[in-house]
Amino acid sequence: MRIALAQINPTVGDITANTTKHLDFIARAKRQGATLVVFPELSLLGYPPKDLLLKSQLVTDSLNALRRIAGEVHGIDVIVGYADRNSQPIGRPLHNAVALLRDGQIHSRHFKTLLPTYDVFDESRYFEPGPINETENLVRVGDVTAGLSVCEDLWNDEKLIARRLYHQNPIADLNAAGAQILINASASPFVLGKHDFRLQLFGEQVRRFNKPLVYVNQVGGNDELIFDGNSHVLDATGNVIAQAKDFEEDLLIVDLDGFSPSPKGDSDLSSPTGATPVGEGRGEGRSAQSAMRHPPSSSPLIHPHATGLESIYKALVLGLQDYVRKCGFKTVVLGLSGGIDSALTAAIAAHALGPDRVTGVAMPSRYSSDHSIEDARLLAANLGTHFHLVPIDALHAAYEKTLYPTFAQVADAISGGTTGKDPTRPDPAADLTDQNLQARMRGATLMAFSNRFNHLLLTTGNKSEIATGYCTLYGDMCGGLAVISDVPKTTVWALSRWINEHFKKELIPWRSIEKVPSAELKPNQTDQDSLPPYETLDAILHRYIEEEKGAAEIVADGFDAATVNRVIKLIDRSEYKRRQAAPGLKVTSRAFGFGRRMPIAQNYVQTVP
């Protein structure tokens, strides 16, 4: 049995391009003698289509595309993900579905059973779950009975069922119904460490039921979400016998040579037959490796997957690359301060798009240090990006001349007397308005570059800043994509060091990595004037945001109560800022954005004495 895992990068809603991609992968799989080709969840529409699913014409167009693909399928079976209409008079109007295409026809349709509604998922808004009778999700492929499932259907064991209040394990139902091999079409977004968890959870499933698994995941960036691919095949003992590339499209051809189902419906793949690499340029014959029990990770069929900092880097590069491409941009612009956040963002952009498509703009003020300009210029030279110097001191002076006399009049009226301060100049040591004005001048300058040259403006704020509101609306928050908004400051430093070590050169100036962080909006300013040390801050943020711990629990972990109370207050009162922020790429288990839905006007107070 030769199976093709079609790990594709669809564009949400681009049915024409997605259809062409399906036909291309089907043709490639057929040339290599595949019996079956499997595509990811909702592969015709791209995941997640969100409220595009409310447009009836979109569903009609996708069903027409499904019929078109079916009409061109001959000599190979194809499993495609799509949205089907619910034929029942009650329930939501659609099903999250996969179709088996065979001999020019839509041979059968199969529906997702478990619909996730946590984190970034909201499938019950659109879809009706499939029937509990899992015999309807069995198909015959050659001499094998395959059990079909869609993404969340596979993400279950008894503990998860209890935690999520699901009442069934569809994989157990497929096994009981007589499935000899499990096939899962998925759209599972990247989160740091998630693929290792997948292998653990899926391995437990296949060992429990003694059935091999074919898992096909989407790859690519769609808005905030990044899909890592890592499609794979597990034998019935939970060993990885094939794994596709991570963070790029791939067509993985796997021979399950020894699959010979017994009359009881059990597969002898529990003693692996071996998966044989069959690919373009590798020939069409079977390999002597087919009897290998445990193929090593160096096998050409098992592509290693990135972990840790490397996986974050690859996710951000792919997420930025696809966001720019799928939104119709070709170039980007960002502010270069000489600091670490803008340096990391620029490095990611240069690697994602090519340095000639990245423009950095340094905008020094009267408070900027000479080394900040030098570091910004050096960064651009190291990366090979475009660089421009646009000082804002003249703009700053014009704002002061225009605004501060009026501000002084208002202050005198409020106080009922004369403040005695120079009406043309603020107090730079105390006036937050003056600091924010400088940030907004820079935001307006960068937006001018964006408008004039059709650049996508990238914001450079990290998760620690965005969490605590240490950012300026309509200033450094201006932009179309927040590349590192889900990367805590401590990880920003670690990732920057990793980039220099990985590429074996100083792409990011070491001084940018090692200097004390400063917004340079007033004399002798540092971030720690306003925030706790980042090591402490990030540890509290992780507990409060990602682990959803309360103040008392965090203090019980050994943190100072006053610091915890202060950080939580900063996070909660900054929700209005985050609601107006650019979309950010998700790399942690709990990111700001549409997966975290906190009210703005609320007064739940958490304090620990």
Catalytic residues: 41, 112, 151
Residue with tokens 């905030």: 224
Supply φ then ψ for residue 9, to 5 degrees.
Answer: -115, 90
Choose among 576, 598, 595, 578: nearest CA to 587: 595
Residue type, 210: N
What DSSP assignment string belongs to 575-600? HHHHHTSPPB---SSS-SSTT----S
- Which region, left, alpha or beta, applies to residue 261 given φ > 0 means left and ψ of -120 to 50 means alpha? beta
150: β partners: 185
Helices 534-541/489-503 angle, 10° precision? 110
Contacts of 113 (CB under 8 A, 6+ apart): 129, 130, 131, 132, 134, 137, 149, 150, 153, 168, 170
* Cα torsion 588, 591, 595, 598: sign: positive
Q: Quick count: other Cβ atoms within 10 Å of Cβ 24?
A: 13
Contacts of 496 (CB under 8 A, 6+ apart): 340, 343, 344, 347, 508, 512, 513
C-alpha–C-alpha distance, residues 90 and 6, integer Å: 34
C-alpha–C-alpha distance, residues 595 and 498, integer Å: 29
Q: Name the pairing type of β-strands 138-141 and 144-150.
A: antiparallel
Instruction: Evaluate whether 267 touches 210 at the Cβ level (below 8 Å).
Output: yes
196, HSE (Cβ side, Cα atoms, 13 Å): 6
Structure tokens at 395: 């703009």
CA dihedral 484, 487, 488, 489 (to 10 degrees): -50
C-alpha–C-alpha distance, residues 82 and 76, integer Å: 19
Q: How far is CA 362 from the centre of its chain?
A: 29
84: β partners: 95
Residue type, 367: Y
Instruction: Evaluate whether 335 touches 363 at the Cβ level (below 8 Å).
Output: yes
Choose among 431, 370, 372, 371: nearest CA to 396: 431
Q: Quick count: other Cβ atoms within 10 Å of Cβ 500?
A: 17
Three-state secondary-structure class, residue 125 = helix
